[in-house]
Structure 1
Amino acid sequence: MIKKTLYFGNPAYLSMRNNQLVIKLPEVEKNDTLPENFKKASETLFPIEDLGVVVLDHKQITLTHGLIEKLLDNNTALLTCDSSRMPVGLMLPLYGNKTQSERFNSQINASDPLKKNLWQQTIKAKITNQAEVLKKFRSCNIRNMMHWAGEVKSGDPDNFEGRAAAYYWKEAFPQIDNFTRGREENPPNNLLNYGYAILRAVIARSLVASGLLPTLGIHHHNRYNAYCLADDIMEPYRPFVDELVFSIVDSGEDYTELTTSLKSKLLQIPTIDVMIGKQKSPLMIAAGQTTASLNQCFEGKLRKIKYPELL
């Protein structure tokens, strides 16, 4: 079942009752002139088992500890935003699988040749999906991208990922003069940053559910990064975020500010349809298949990670 993504951008009291998330509005709760039955009727409830991602985007949101515990027990990714209203923190459970210690050992003991092979598969899938985005939205030549995807070797020693990225972002937004991809660069980087943060939460959640350590990457090794493996595995998924951002930019909608309307569109990322294993699937479900196959690669049961393709 596809899990829901909830976004909170206004003051709210969030608690738990009967395994349901209870949403109360502070202006209603603090108003002593309102009858209790009216306050009760103004509550909104969501079954916690249906939630996959919860985004907190306001400083006046209060959560009970019981709710946090239940969300984590349900493997719900809890995303918090900073003063600029961009995702800045991610909370996940410490465990998510009954055989977690065995899976940790398989992951920790993975050989360098295996990790390099997995990275080769990852970059090949990423470049292929990037080429498909360009093919769908732009009229540029993608033969070089497909050639690079086919030439990626174990560990990508020739840095075809970098070559492909340079060409990809040069062709991405021809309507924007001198577009540069970067976290602190001009829009539509704001859309890309927000979308990638949502994607990262989805992948990290799936890794935990598959009993893997999100911190221990196959390629990324930043000592200050708690989600190196998530950053690795999300690479072939990034083009799905790009595809959505391309469509927003091409529509002519104002994207200079990350409005509620734009956030609403980006929060649909977990439900984007992708092709995986020759079947159409929501991105969040596909992410679970990807991380489950990665675990099997670590255990020696599979040789190939299942990555999605664009429709």
Structure 2
Amino acid sequence: MSYHIVSIDAPDCSLSCKDGQLTCKSAEGDRRVPLEDVGAIIITSFSASIHSKLLLEAAKYGVGLVICENFKPASLVLPANRATDTLLTRAQAYIPAQLRQRLWQKTIDAKCLNQWSLATELAPDDHRLAKFGALARGRSPSKEAECAKLFWRIFAERVAETDDFRRERKGGGPNNLLNYGYAVLLSTILQNLFAVGLDPTFGIAHVIREQSTPLAYDLMEPFRPCIDWRVAEWIRLHPGEEGMEVTREFRQWVTGFPLATVDWFELTLDVRGVIEGVTRSFRQAVTTAQTGPYRPWTRTTTKWAG
């Protein structure tokens, strides 16, 4: 599979293909990239026009197109040979129970460490951090729930500034901000799953429901603190009740999180690039039936930048 996943977000752009080159024309000028170097094209632009020549040439080169509405994938255009990747589909559908458990454990380990890291940033003098860190690095069967309880208590005190805050899908306070941010994160994960050919309906831990995408929910877990940090910063900059409303300005603020720079092992990338790398590593783990290739993101920089 070719390496590059090309994201198209320029407004009023035109996409076409000439001499094997993907061409994007916009007010910012023309940009070109060889189709042979492209693995997938993600289109989040609200008003892009796509020439039929690009659809045909993309099919010849095995390039998939993910077309989004409000950043959430709405349509998937795949070449016939990629739409019938039976080896990958079979590998996803029949992940051995032990491999599934080990992949999920790596995911939860990363999530808990990231929550502890963010809690340390939000409340560096909190007396619960030592216990939190030990839990995040430990192997307790209830580790995820215990870390979540500690994290949201600290978040409530230092961000929501109330003892009444509870993390709930339909709760008040910062919950609406968090829900919107998680929706943006979920869409970003879905974009990359489709781009590398993974079926998001085959998850490793989240429950399968009608029209659900459990794998996207699985892989987004370590990145949730990126949204938590983004929301915490927004509330700090906008104190009071108005800071709890999902305004147009907040939507613009939170949708910018994929461009924040973070470290991922020995690389420094934006969050969008890290999500792509994690998705690819998961794909390799599934196709090889090994946990080694899978590398969920864990924050390593001294300054939280999610």
TM-score, length-scaled by structure 1:
0.73
Is 2:164 the partner of 1:187?
Answer: no
Please list, as runs of the form range in 1=range in 2, the aligned pairs for 1:124-203 lying within 5 A after superposition: 124-139=109-124, 140=126, 141-152=128-139, 158-174=141-157, 175-203=161-189
Q: Distance in 1 between matches of 2:212 and 2:32?
A: 26
Rate the CA distance shift 1:2–1:142 in 2: closer, same or farther, 3 A: farther
2:91 and 2:287 in contact (8 A); partners too: yes
What is the deviation of 1:114? 0.5
**C-alpha contact 1:2 1:285 (8 A) present in aligned 2:** no
Deviations 1:227-253, CA, capped at 9 Å, x for gaps: 100000000011111111111112235
Aligned to 1:259: 247
**Cα distance, 1:303 vs. partner?**
2.1
Flag structure 1 segments of 5+ consecutive residues without an equivalent. 9-13, 24-42, 57-61, 81-86
Give the whole-Å Cα distance in 1 for the aligned partners of 2:243 and 2:215. Answer: 30
What residue number does 1:93 align with?
76
Residue of 259, 273, 277 corresponding to 1:271: 259
Aligned 8 A contact 2:66 2:77 in 1: no
- SS class of match (2:171): coil
For residue 38 of structure 1, what is the aligned residue in structure 2?
A: none
Q: One-letter code of the match for 2:90? A: N
State the distance in 2 between where 1:188 and 1:16 align: 38
In the alignment, structure 2 segments of 5+ residues that lack a partner are: 18-22, 34-39, 302-306
Letter in 1 for 2:96: S
Cα pair 1:53 1:202 within 8 Å, conserved: no
Aligned counterpart in structure 1 of residue 102 of structure 2, from 108, 114, 117: 117
SS across alignment from 2:76: coil
Secondary structure of 2:245's aligned partner:
coil
Question: Would you say the 8 A contact 1:203–1:287 is kept in 2?
Answer: yes
Q: Do the aligned partners of 1:5 and 1:54 also contact (CA within 8 Å) in 2?
A: yes
Q: Give TM-score scaled by structure 2 length.
A: 0.74
In the alignment, does 2:69 pair up with 1:79?
yes
1:119-152 Cα offsets, whole Å, 9 max, x none, are: 1110010000000001112232322222222333
Counting matched residue pairs gives 270
> Which of residues 209, 218, 223 in structure 2 aligns to 1:232?
218
Q: Which amino acid aligns with 2:154?
A: E
The residue number in structure 1 matching 2:296 is: 307
Contact 1:5 1:267 (8 Å CA) reproduced:
no
Aligned partners of 2:8 and 2:186: how far apart in 1? 14
Report Cα offsets for 1:274-300 as digits up to 9, x if no partner: 221222111111111111111221122
Q: CA deviation at 1:44?
A: 8.7
Q: Which moved more, 1:127-136 or 1:298-307?
A: 298-307
Shift of 1:301: 6.2
Distance 1:289 1:241, change over 3 A: same
SS at match of 2:44: strand
**CA–CA distance in 2 between the matches of 1:104 and 1:224?**
19
Distance, in Å, in 2 between the alignment partners of 1:150 and 1:66 is 51
Partner Cα separation in structure 1 for residue 226 and residue 279 of structure 2? 17
Write the deviation string for residues 182-226 of structure 1: whole angstroms up to 9, x where unpaired: 221113212211111111111111112222111110001232243
Distance 1:44 1:273 in 2: 24
> Does the CA-based 8 Å contact 2:113-2:136 persist in structure 1?
yes
